[in-house]
Structure 1
């Protein structure tokens, strides 16, 4: 099947435009997925932010390349909502989130508890909890705290750890898993 595109718009441009508009879980995504499946390797991120009420369900990587408009949307989605500040999220962290989600074989989106944190927000959280690192990787856009209703903290941590790509922290009492693209290590219980 050949997809007709307007003059001057490449297939990649069309896909980038699609990805940039899919910030919310659009009902048309399921029909587009059939087309994309045959076009090569894709990476898709699916998350919900209870604090802001926002959803993100989009393809951000296709045929070996990141889609810049999609990354811009991810950066905004993972912003410090307390300060309304965004930072570039390290693509390695996005890939770890996506890979671990895929390994869990769920359709439920990850619930994002914390992505980027400004130094001001990190200091605020440190004043409330001993579990917040002074030099947190959240402050450089390299970490995320995530939750799933349908999987345990141990299941999520095991999936993230199997990526062998960064740090994995289990926070069973608070029911979330920390994933980052720093040195490979694990902690928590």
Structure 2
């Protein structure tokens, strides 16, 4: 069902026009959930994992309500695959990811590099890289490291930062963007 305004534009066309200009205009919103309220009646997330070969493409929110089974599948998808542990992901992070993806206007799914990390996995990764925080929000289910082949690190990071809803880190050398629902901050040149 398409609503048409008196100017002949559909609601979907107006939303697309807004999304196309939103990254450039860099709106400031207090949280991604508030930003998404203007984006329609559904929220959708699309990802794949090069580590497990799994893919997910699902609507997880409709008309103001999270879909319990969809959220459960997202939690499983974003598990620590190294130790096969699932943690409930903070829905604010999922909302930031979805809002950023919408702003980028791509159909390509995110490549998920890291979602939830167990303390053991975080310690192992920390021993191999200075870029892994001791108290990483990944261990709280509040962060994700993502990549899009069709968009640059800067483009993905700018979309996430425009949500003004959490932390955004640029990792150019490893070609990914960190998104979390913690304090609003950015890092990485």
Map of 2:96 onto structure 1: 96
Give ranges in structure 2 of 5+ residues lacking alignment. Answer: 2-39
Map of 1:136 onto structure 2: 136
What is the rounded CA distance, in whole Å, between the counterparts of 1:102 and 1:51 in structure 2? 25
Deviation sequence 1:93-137 (CA, Å, 0-9, x none): 000000000000000000000000000000000000000000000
What is the rounded CA distance, in whole Å, between the counterparts of 2:151 and 2:71 in structure 1? 27
The offset of 1:54, in angstroms, is 0.3
Map of 1:4 onto structure 2: none
SS in structure 2 at match of 1:159: helix
**C-alpha RMSD of the superposition:** 1.0
SS in structure 1 at match of 2:122: helix
What is the rounded CA distance, in whole Å, between the counterparts of 2:163 and 2:49 in structure 1? 24
Map of 2:165 onto structure 1: 165
What is the rounded CA distance, in whole Å, between the counterparts of 2:44 and 2:154 in structure 1? 23
Map of 1:176 onto structure 2: 176
Map of 1:8 onto structure 2: none
Map of 2:127 onto structure 1: 127
SS in structure 2 at match of 1:46: strand
What is the rounded CA distance, in whole Å, between the counterparts of 1:60 and 1:143 in structure 2? 18
What is the rounded CA distance, in whole Å, between the counterparts of 2:135 and 2:98 in structure 1? 25
What is the rounded CA distance, in whole Å, between the counterparts of 1:94 and 1:130 in structure 2? 26
The offset of 1:160, in angstroms, is 0.2
SS in structure 1 at match of 2:160: helix
The offset of 1:63, in angstroms, is 0.6
Residues 15-164 of structure 1 mapped to structure 2, 5 A cutoff: 41-164=41-164
Deviation sequence 1:128-165 (CA, Å, 0-9, x none): 00000000000000000000000000000000000000
Give ranges in structure 1 of 5+ residues lacking alignment. Answer: 2-39
Where in structure 1 do 4 or more consecutive aligned residues deviate above 2 Å?
A: none
